[in-house]
Amino acid sequence: MEKHKITIHDIARALNIDSSTVSRALNNSSRVTEKTKTKILKKAEELGYQRNVLASNLRKSVTNTIGVVVPRISRHFFSSVIQGVEETAYLAGYNVLICQSLEQLEREKQIVDTLVANRVDGVLISISMETTDYKHMQSLKNNDIPLVFFDRHCGIPDTNNVLIDDFKGGFDATQHLIDEGCRNIIHFSGPQVLEIYKNRLKGYKEALKMNDLPFKAENVISSRLMEHDGKENAKRLLDAGFSFDGIFFANDVAAIGAMKYLTNHGVKIPDDVAIVGFSNEPISRVINPALTTIDQPGIEMGKIATDLLLKHIKKQNGPLKPQTVIMDSNLIERLSSKK
């Protein structure tokens, strides 16, 4: 068995022609006659030729690869986005590098560095909860690598973003609780460095205001929204003897942690406390009672973000203006909020 990898030079030698002609034939250039092309393709097939992508990329300084960075691949919303990204990217002939920051700024920086080093053609990113400085994003700009934020963005101007209307999501969730009769609604929010959580909170406030309900700062609790955060803060509420009849969670996972704790401590959901989450994780259909939540169109978002990124990668007619797309979200009513 031959160990040596077949190159265009091997094909050229075998046919007694120049390697540049082989290269052009394999790239279907019009500068090579059909007859020669067929001959070359046949010989390439025969020798089992496979293009060396590394060499090709080096010469062309293009990788046909985009990087997508998410906090965690296991979150349903993010894996949906990734699916949308892959579908669109593959159709356009691009490969996708999937990376997870695990909500750690250090890893996020490391990932961006690696993507830059590997000369990806563009990057899609949803930032971690720890991301407060944006130097690593600057490195993308310095290297002229197009960047699109999706869902979790930085609040900086002149960037491309594909976002959910978090304000509306927060508003809808809260209004729904009010419609169900809640008058004393707690909001479990995420790290306030992230725009999405700020906006969900704004929506919450706005709904209260529209219904002439008082906003109380102590009714807003911020955490990293993991399951144990939900649980611990539920405990704190109960222990402190807080009175409330509804909770709007900025994500489903924290909601579920809290629901388990509340249920185990004699709180009836939805009768005593109505609950609404955010994200529509599959788990929210399984918990009892099923969790009312805000559905985010993940696959669609992935597609739109990728389309936007590819447009910037190709920018045939000079640089494009940065653009922000806001997508709608959807309240899904289930039993956890049915008074």
Could you say whether residue 33 binds its own copies (CB under 8 A)?
no
The distance of closest approach from Cβ of residue 328 to its own copies in the complex, given in angstroms and rounded to an integer, is: 23
Q: Report the partner that residue 260 touches, choosing among its own copies, DNA, none (CB closer than 5 to 8 A by kind).
A: its own copies
Task: Give the type of residue at 160.
Answer: N
Q: Sketch the per residue contact string, 21 through 60, with DNA: x for CB under 7 A, - otherwise.
A: x-xx-xx--xxxx-xx------------x-xx--xx-xxx
- 192 vs 264 by CB, closer to its own copies: 264
Contact yes or no for 89/111 (Cβ under 8 A): no
Q: Is 1 exposed, middle or buried (0-12, 13-18, 19+ CB in 10 A)?
A: exposed
Per-residue interface string for the shown chain with its own copies, residues 47-86, x marking contact by CB under 8 A: ---xxxxxx-xx--x-x--------xxx-x--x--xx--x
Asked if 116 is part of the footprint of its own copies (rule: CB under 8 A), the reply reads yes
| Number of neighbouring beta carbons within 10 Å of residue 180 | 17
DSSP string for residues in 226-288: -HHHHHHHHHHHHHTT---SEEEESSHHHHHHHHHHHHHTT--TTTT-EEE-SB--THHHHSS
**Closest separation in Å from C-beta 184 to its own copies:** 27
* Contacts to DNA from residues 54-113, by CB under 7 A: 55-56, 58-61
- Find which of DNA, its own copies, none residue 324 binds, CB within 5 to 8 Å per kind: none
Burial track 193-226 (b if 16+ CB lie within 10 A, e otherwise)? bbbbbbbbbebbbbbbeeeebeeeeebbbbbebe
Report d(CA 159, CA 153) in Å as an integer. Answer: 9
CB neighbours of residue 260 within 10 Å: 15
From the list DNA, its own copies, none, which binds 31 (C-beta under 5 to 8 Å, kind-based)?
Answer: DNA
What is the contact surface with DNA in residues (CB under 7 A)? 5, 7-9, 16-21, 23-24, 26-27, 30-33, 35-36, 49, 51-52, 55-56, 58-61
What is the contact surface with its own copies in residues (CB under 8 A)? 1, 3, 50-55, 57-58, 61, 63, 72-74, 76, 79, 82-83, 86, 95, 97-100, 102, 114, 116-119, 142, 144, 256, 260, 282-283, 286-288
